[in-house]
Amino acid sequence: MTFAPASIPSRTQYVQEAIKHGILTGQLSPGQPLVEADLAAQFGVSKTPVREALKTLAGTGLVVMSQYKGVTVRTVDAAMAREIYDVRLLLEPEALRRSVVRKESLAAAQDALVRAEGAEDRAGRSLANRDFHRALYLPCGNPLLTRMLDEVRDQAALVSTVAWAASPSWEQEAREHQEILWTALAGDADGAAGLLHTHISDFVRRAFPDHEEAGA
């Protein structure tokens, strides 16, 4: 994988987005070391933008910085998945309900479904899946709610990437996505929110069957 360096003002962002794309598409595996010197050579930049990019990615939860192990791609386990998906369960269905009540356009969600159906690999499906969910909550009318969901979006995508590698379930999820969207387009706000809640909770149960429900 080779990249052309970006202009000087945007080098940190460029490196950050490239590393994030590698993580969320499975090109960089959980637990894989991220060595500053190697990344700087790969992207054709100095160590400084790489270091700043890794700090930002650590803040979003995609990488882990350790005094002894250096920087590694975050490892996904059942506890981490439950923590992230608990937040989604609390916030995302309500955001969708509000989007439907406000009668906002969900055309971007339909576009994401089309892209997911036509994707040639897991990476393309993962990115389209991520866009689909954001398209549902983005029009909710509450910028703070949107930002809170955006904060866990990358980590949720990482969970999905790891889960799909172990047990592909995108065909079932695609059917569930279509049902959620149809219900939302029909104006049934509570019905769409309920389907989304079930969709999110069922994914964790399928992906991590040995993990007990929170609070159980």
Q: Let me know: does 188 contact 93? Beta carbons within 8 Å.
A: no
Predicted TM-score (pTM) of the model is 0.85
Q: What pLDDT does 46 receive?
A: 95
Contacts for 181 with CB less than 8 Å, ≥ 6 apart: 106, 109, 110, 113, 136
In this prediction, residue 26 carries a pLDDT of 86
CATH code of the domain made up of 78-207:
1.20.120.530
3-state secondary structure (DSSP) of residue 46: coil
pLDDT truncated to tens, each residue of the chain (216 aa)? 455 554 444 899 999 999 998 998 889 999 999 999 999 999 999 999 999 999 999 999 999 999 888 999 999 998 999 999 999 999 999 999 999 999 999 999 999 999 999 988 777 888 899 999 999 999 999 999 999 999 999 999 899 888 887 787 888 999 999 999 999 999 999 999 999 999 999 998 888 886 544 433
CA 182, CA 106: separation in Å to the nearest integer? 10
CA distances (Å), 22 to each of 9, 29, 90, 114, in order?
22, 9, 29, 23
Domain 8-73's class? Answer: mainly alpha
> Could you state, in order of their start, the residue ranges of all structural domains in the chain?
8-73, 78-207
